[in-house]
Chains A and B, each alone.
Chain A
Amino acid sequence: MSATTPLPRQQKSAAFEYLTTRKDEFVGWARKFSLFPYPFVTACCAMEFMSVSSTLYDTDRFGAALPRFTPRQSDLLMVVGTVSHKQTPILRKVYEQMCEPKWVMAFGVCASSGGFYQNYAALPGIDKIIPVDLYIPGCPPRPEMVIDGIMKLQDKIAGERHPIINQDF
């Protein structure tokens, strides 16, 4: 079983298939409980971000608490609040600085779609410039909603393929 040259699919043995699925599950399980968020905090949603990360709601319980204040060390980009056009180059740059694997959460309606700021200044949703894995509606969302979002993201991570050596394994 060479890791660098993948076998043609029809030649894969049943044991190899089994190993691959269990490997993805294992890596996904590990990754979903070690989310290191980078809070890209801009606006009102920051108030709820503060609430959700402190005592009463405590995202620590979900393995998603310790904010890394450099994008290079984090794997979850939380875009918290409105992104204006002036901010877009910075957001794109922060996204590019993050290492794979990375996930993006649009926290609040402004990050998801621009919310009720449909004008010259606000970006109509961060998915216009970077791919987004999870949208959390609310203006701002309640902490319970954010926790639900984190759990949904963890489910998504657990169900994903996690290639760690090359594209196939």
Chain B
Amino acid sequence: MSTGANLLERVQSGLGAQALETGMAHGILVLQIAAESLVPVAGRLKQEFGFDLFLDVTATDWPQRRPRFDVVYHFYSTRDFVRVRLKTQVEEADPTVDTLVPLYGSARYMERECHEMYGIRFRGNDDLRPLLLYEGFVGHPLRKDYPKQREQPLVPYRREAMSLPPLTSLPNPIRPAFTQGLTPGSVIVNIGPSHPATHGTIQIVAEISGERVVRTDVHCGYLHRGFEKECESHTWHNLIPYVDRLNYCSALINDFAYCEAVEKLMGIELTPRCRHLRTLLAEYSRIADHLTCVAAALMEMGAMTAFLYMVTIRDYVYEHLAAATGARVTYTHGRIGGLGRDLPEGWLERLEEILAQMDTFVGRVHGLVDRNRIFIDRMRDVGVMATADAIDWGFSGPVLRSTGVARDVRKDTPYLAYAELDFEVPVGIKGDNYDRYYVRMREMDESMHMIRQLVDMLPDGPINVDDRRCTLPAKHLVYTEIESLINHFKLIIEGIQVPKGEAYSYVEGANGELGFYVVSAGSGAPWKVHCRSPSFVHMGGLHLMLEGYQLADIIPTFGSINMIGGECDR
């Protein structure tokens, strides 16, 4: 992207005076700044240089260093398709930076997460309640000095096999933002986190006046299972199963995104067959994800037939992927520098059969709901999101595209083999539920189109790079020669040695920009793995789509966003 490169040069020369250090790292401009100049620099990035999408904020803990914490920000320009990373250091004694909430709406949720995980205080952000954790949790779990297994149970454990401690009062894990209505007639209702009509563990505290939603307070975090902490205690390869379980609807996309981040750090160039296979499998996974999302959203509105059609075809996909990878849902198929294994015999023939059946089944769903009066009444003009709001709240993926802008990482900054493919980026008209449904349906068509192209152009050759740093030697060599035996032993026991540094990989996940920010201290286990998850960001702006509509509209609106708990709460 020449305009993007120009922009980065302009940023570098324009902001160089305010930065302590500048440099390029894996295509991202890195600016090391002082904590005081954070807001001015971010403000200029947004207003002067057009970095309108706030991707992410996280921190890195270096207990042996003064100052102890790095606070790391990522920004994206939706016009020039380039990314900037801001880094600032804060002391342990006073880990305070200024908030970016006045500039970017999406900062609100992300700063809450960073605050509870690392104890970074964001001056000016008045809502720093626990988000992924719960009320009463003491400490900051992602700090290096927090022991991984220190639990803080909310409910007393049972002592013997059949005993049940008496139920006294159960603690409330959250503190709602409001307990009183604004007007005398309004009522406060609680939806979730175990609600039959929301797929995913989300809790929405809503104030309603009649049937109309006045304001909402969205709580996620009920599926927070310590992904980032687990990563730090596993080797680079061993943590891939955890990565799978982020967005479990399309686990392969996560796998490949994570591997790409590590490959960037190691400077690995994939083999052509691996690049194409990863693209193919990622698109196949995307179809499975969209099928799940649309099926669940339709079922929640009562369209059981559509659900059964889509889950049936999804099951064919699962079995087919199981033939290639060994598992139906959580594949663990990505390897750093390649793939777990090559395709089995006859896999591509079966693929064509499934795609043909998929056309039929998806066509039936189109026929059932597209022009269905009930469906249109529930979907059209409900949960409307304007493009400007969507970008301000950090939205990406199908939700952003439904508002009418064709922003797609696969098109804007092509990775893997996307540059060689012919595909369209479907967009919506006004960003309502119907558009989100239709964008997903159209994306499935595009993915099928891409898969067919990839089958035709799939090159032969090895799937793993020939690199002793990451690829395991062939099994027969391990048994017959000492070098391979040692190589195998070192890779398994000590893990891949990834050079010091940090990298951010970004792919188009099924729900939006999925990013992995990995930091290596030069050892066999990562120092930090942070996932920029689209679902989490979408939950931060969900209230905009709920307020002003009816209580019953919460269900289709929430369903059309496709929040995936594993990815949202990590």
Contacts and interface: CB of A to CB of B under 8 A. Distances in A.
A119 B224 contact: no
Interface string B190-215: 00011011010100000000000000
A119 B225 contact: yes
Nearest to A46: B199
Interface stretch (A21-29, A123-131, A152-160): A123-131
B173 A89 contact: yes
A122 B155 contact: no
B245 A44 contact: yes
Contact of B308 (A55, A69, A81, A92): A55
Interface residues of A, number: 48
B148 interface: yes
Interface residues of B, number: 59
Contact of A47 (B157, B173, B221, B329): B329
Contacts of B155: 88-89, 92, 129
A128 B330 contact: no
A88 B308 contact: no
A84 B241 CA distance: 18
B242 A85 contact: no
A44 to B, nearest CB: 4
A87 B201 contact: yes
A51 B318 contact: yes
Contacts of B158: 127-131
A61 to B, nearest CB: 15
B349 interface: no
B171 interface: yes
Contact of A131 (B148, B162, B241): B162
Contacts of A43: 223, 225, 245, 248, 565-566
B51 to A, nearest CB: 33
A121 B141 contact: yes
Interface string B134-153: 10000001000011111111
Given A117-B230, A121-B141, A48 B312 contact: no
A57 to B, nearest CB: 8
Given A55-B312, A86-B134, A89-B171, A119 B226 contact: yes
Contact of A120 (B152, B197, B566): B152
A86 B312 contact: no
A18 interface: no
A42 B222 CA distance: 8
Contacts of B569: 84
Contacts of A127: 158
A120 B245 contact: no
A140 B566 CA distance: 14
Interface in A34-87: 40-44, 46-48, 50-51, 54-56, 67, 69-70, 81-82, 84-87
Interface string B446-463: 000000000000000000
B442 interface: no
Given A84-B222, A89-B170, A121-B224, A129 B157 contact: yes
Pick from B171, B197, B308, B328 the residue with the most CB of A within 10 Å. Answer: B328
B292 interface: yes
Given A47-B329, A86-B221, A94-B194, A128 B226 contact: no
Interface string A83-121: 011111111111010000000000000100000111111
B223 A42 contact: yes
B194 A48 contact: no
Contact of B167 (A96, A117, A119, A121): A96
B196 A87 contact: no
Contact of A51 (B172, B226, B315): B315
B59 to A, nearest CB: 17
B312 A131 contact: no
Pick from A54, A67, A120, A123 the residue with the most CB of B within 10 Å. Answer: A120
A85 B153 contact: yes
A41 B158 CA distance: 22
Interface in B531-570: 565-566, 569
Given A42-B201, A51-B318, 6 more contacts: A43-B245, A84-B225, A86-B133, A88-B155, A121-B133, A123-B153
Interface of B: 133-134, 141, 146-158, 161-162, 164, 167, 170-173, 193-194, 196-197, 199, 201, 221-226, 229-230, 241-242, 245, 248-249, 292, 295-296, 307-308, 311-312, 314-315, 318, 328-330, 565-566, 569
10 contacts: A42-B565, A44-B248, A44-B566, A47-B329, A50-B311, A86-B154, A86-B222, A87-B201, A120-B151, A122-B225
